[in-house]
Amino acid sequence: MDIVSTKEMLSDAKKRKYAVPAFNIHNLETMQGVLEVANELKSPVILATTPGTVSYAGADYLVAMAKVGAKRYNIPISLHLDHCSDINILKKCIESGYKSVMIDASLKPYEENLMITKEVVEFAHTYNVSVESELGLVSGQEEERDIKDSDSIFTDPYVALDFVEKTKIDSLAVAIGTAHGVYKAEPKLDFERLKKINSLIDVPLVLHGASGVPAESIIKAIEYGICKVNIATELKIPFADAIKEFFERNPNASDPRHYLIPAKEALKKVVAEKIQICDSINRG
Ligand code: 13P
């Protein structure tokens, strides 16, 4: 198989009420860890890369690695550009072979977000690439994007309806109380708002900032229309902790093939837990 767009994946998830997990990966080992578990559990999976990761690893390398995974494993695998506000990076990723992108103009005024998203949809759809966009403002920190909790804006269901109709996006990221990064207190999700958005809008809905959200809340969010669950921080921390522990025990070690193995194993444990919560096992 080749890497696929997220459109069919998410429409199946919507129909059958589960979610496809989107894991942020950064290099070969994190991508391998995610794909090995997804393959064992026969789960469709989205490999998410931020513009920071694209600049770190190179779009061509990331596409080539994802294609190797798709060829090796018989499960639907998508390569997604996460939170991109720069149209030039976005177009470059699409031209390099990405199958899914998120245009993030959520910091702009509504009309501008609408205009930019429309332009991206027109471009991406000519390549059969699916487009996600955010309406409202999810707080927290993800790379350069750092939004205070007090500045978060929850998604207005009726504005979301207008936005989806006018832009023709394939999926909508909603702000309902989650945040990127580590939570200071347990997040309280606005399920009534989510239910309303889901009743008005046809496209699959996306939950950002899923690290640290209790499993019951994610399961309930899926029941109310969430079809894609984004996880970054909860993979990064155990990966890094395992490397730190390895060097505490082996201060003179230097071989990446040794210290990256426990890191990958720690990441794989979390990937398996999240796939189970998304109920995406055997959906691939
Ligand atoms: P977390 O880092 O909170 O898991 O958020 C991930 C995310 O939403 C990526 O877009």
Ligand 1 atom 5: the closest Cα is on which residue?
A: 209
Q: Which of 230, 234, 271 for mutating ligand 1's site (highest number of atoms within 8 Å of CB)?
A: 230
pLDDT tens string 228-254? 999 999 999 999 999 999 999 999 999
pLDDT at 111 over 90: yes
pLDDT tens string 149-164? 776 789 999 999 999 9
0.85 exceeded by the pTM? yes
- 179 Cα to the center of ligand 1, angstroms: 8
Comparing CA positions, the residue from 44, 127, 122 lying closest to residue 78 is: 44
Mean pLDDT of 47-71: 98
Does ligand 1 come within 6 angstroms of the Cβ of 181?
A: yes
Which residue type is seen at 119? E
Torsional class of 104: left (φ above 0), alpha (ψ -120 to 50), beta (otherwise):
beta
Q: Which of 6, 20, 24 for mutating ligand 1's site (highest number of atoms within 8 Å of CB)?
A: 24
pLDDT tens string 116-140? 999 999 999 999 999 999 998 777 8
Q: How high is the pLDDT of residue 243?
A: 98
Run of H or E residues at 50: none
